């Protein structure tokens, strides 16, 4: 995909960070490997404003983290070669440097995901990989799951499954659906539960399963429980806007989210109508 032809989406390299890292640039281009453009001209709105400002900040933070990583690595190397071997605080010093490296790696991963999220509003209708958006929202919701002491995960997929996970849609609305679905399910769960998302392409539809396994032996009625959480009405409103539907599976204790596979022409008609 040629980003130069898409307004507002361009790779950047911080020249100061380039120099700090001995000529090794820190590329901060968004990860769009799971997107294929249909719409070539973004429609400016509040979401795009927020996303572009947020994306710009993530670019800068990635450069900051790269400099911290290089500097801590240099300190470690210098001390290993020239520092006193009998220094009583050597072990604590090395542990501190390792802690810095670990947190930088964590920060880099967070910024990478936040950057991908910030670029979601860039184009309203694209062919995109729904599994990647589900994976992103699962990652973004891990903190909420940890607070509830619930295990949250996305079921891995095989190469043969990948083709069935691509559809034409609005990436931001898709992410909102996954996010709200996860948050709604978490709000019905107690400590020790397990929430798993899995995707299946079937009969020109993409089905996403939100399967809830409670921590206790008692299995609550998920359909009834969800109606009492604040995220559910918003989830249903977005679902209606996307002309999709949701069902409940009482056997698996799961939500089944059905997304249609519109063809390219019908999506382009929808974009033209909304412009």
CA dist 219 and 69 (Å) reads 47
Distances (CA, A) of 70 to 27, 28, 163: 15, 17, 39
147 and 255 share one domain: yes
CA dist 48 and 41 (Å) reads 12
Could you give the 3-state DSSP secondary structure of residue 192? coil
Query: Is it the case that residue 20 has pLDDT exceeding 60?
Result: no
132 and 266 share one domain: yes
Longest dimension (CA), the chain: 74
pLDDT given at position 102: 92
Tokens 């020109």 appear where? 204
CA dist 178 and 174 (Å) reads 6
pLDDT given at position 67: 92
109 and 29 share one domain: yes
pLDDT given at position 211: 94
41 and 163 share one domain: no
Q: Do 242 and 169 form a contact (C-beta atoms < 8 A)?
A: yes
Query: Is it the case that residue 137 has pLDDT exceeding 60?
Result: yes
CA dist 123 and 275 (Å) reads 12
Query: Is it the case that residue 58 has pLDDT exceeding 60?
Result: yes
Task: Average the pLDDT over each of 33-42, 45-54, 149-158, 202-211 and give the range with the smallest value.
Answer: 33-42
23 and 103 share one domain: yes
Average pLDDT over every residue of 18-39: 45
pLDDT given at position 264: 58
Give the residue, 51 or 27, on which the prediction is more confident: 51
80 and 135 share one domain: no
> Structurally, how many domains does the chain consist of?
2
Q: What is the pLDDT of residues 202-218, one digit of tens each?
A: 878 899 999 999 887 67
Q: What is the pLDDT of residues 140-199, one digit of tens each?
A: 999 999 999 999 999 999 887 888 898 888 899 999 999 999 999 999 998 999 999 999
Give the residue, 103 or 264, on which the prediction is more confident: 103
- Which residues lie below 8 Å from residue 208, measured CB to CB, with a gap of 6+? 130, 134, 178, 181, 197, 198, 199, 200, 256, 257, 259
107 and 132 share one domain: no
Q: What is the pLDDT of residues 3-15, one digit of tens each?
A: 444 333 333 333 3
Q: Are strands 254-260 and 205-213 parallel, antiparallel or unpaired?
A: antiparallel
Q: Do 26 and 68 form a contact (C-beta atoms < 8 A)?
A: no
List, as one string, the DSSP characters of 207-237.
Answer: EEEEEEE-SSS----HHHHHTTSTHHHHHHH
pLDDT given at position 131: 95
Give the residue, 124 or 43, on which the prediction is more confident: 124
pLDDT given at position 207: 93
Q: Which domain holds residue 171?
A: 126-274
Q: What is the mean pLDDT of the chain?
A: 79
CA dist 15 and 25 (Å) reads 8
Q: Do 64 and 28 form a contact (C-beta atoms < 8 A)?
A: no
CA dist 184 and 252 (Å) reads 17
71 and 12 share one domain: yes
pLDDT given at position 44: 60
Give the residue, 234 or 124, on which the prediction is more confident: 234
Task: Average the pLDDT over each of 80-84, 186-190, 265-269 and give the range with the smallest value.
Answer: 265-269
CA–centroid distance for 207 within its chain? 19
Q: What is the pLDDT of residues 215-238, one digit of tens each?
A: 876 777 888 889 889 999 999 999
87 and 151 share one domain: no
231 and 130 share one domain: yes
pLDDT given at position 180: 96
Domain boundary among 75, 94, 118: 118
CA dist 23 and 147 (Å) reads 42
Rg (the chain; Cα; Å): 22
Structure-block tokens of residue 139: 């990652």
pLDDT given at position 130: 93
Q: Do 68 and 20 form a contact (C-beta atoms < 8 A)?
A: no
- 242 band by pLDDT with thresholds 50, 70 and 90: confident
């Amino acid at each position: 995909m040629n980003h130069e032809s898409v307004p507002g989406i361009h790779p950047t390299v911080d020249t100061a960070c380039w120099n700090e890292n001995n000529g090794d640039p820190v590329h901060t281009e968004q990860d769009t490997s799971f997107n294929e453009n249909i719409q070539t001209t973004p429609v400016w709105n509040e979401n795009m404003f927020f996303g572009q400002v947020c994306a710009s900040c993530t670019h800068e933070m990635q450069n900051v983290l790269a400099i911290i990583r290089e500097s801590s690595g240099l300190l470690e190397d210098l001390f290993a070669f020239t520092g006193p071997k009998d220094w009583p605080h050597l072990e604590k010093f090395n542990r501190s440097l390792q802690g810095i490296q670990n947190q930088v790696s964590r920060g880099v991963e967070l910024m990478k995901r936040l950057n991908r999220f910030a670029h979601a509003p860039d184009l309203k209708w694209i062919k995109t990989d729904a599994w990647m958006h589900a994976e992103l929202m699962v990652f973004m919701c891990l903190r909420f799951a940890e607070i509830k002491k619930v295990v949250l995960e996305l079921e891995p997929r095989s190469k043969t499954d990948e083709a069935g996970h691509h559809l034409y849609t609005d990436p931001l609305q898709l992410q909102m659906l996954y996010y709200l679905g996860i948050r709604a399910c978490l709000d019905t769960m107690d400590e020790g539960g397990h929430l798993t998302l899995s995707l299946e392409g079937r009969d020109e539809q993409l089905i996403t399963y939100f399967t809830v396994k409670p921590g206790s032996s008692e299995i609550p009625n998920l359909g009834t429980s969800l109606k009492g959480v604040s995220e559910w009405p918003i989830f249903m409103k977005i679902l209606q806007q996307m002309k999709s539907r949701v069902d409940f599976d009482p056997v698996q204790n799961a939500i089944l989210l059905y997304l249609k596979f519109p063809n390219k022409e019908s999506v382009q008609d929808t974009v033209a109508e909304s412009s």
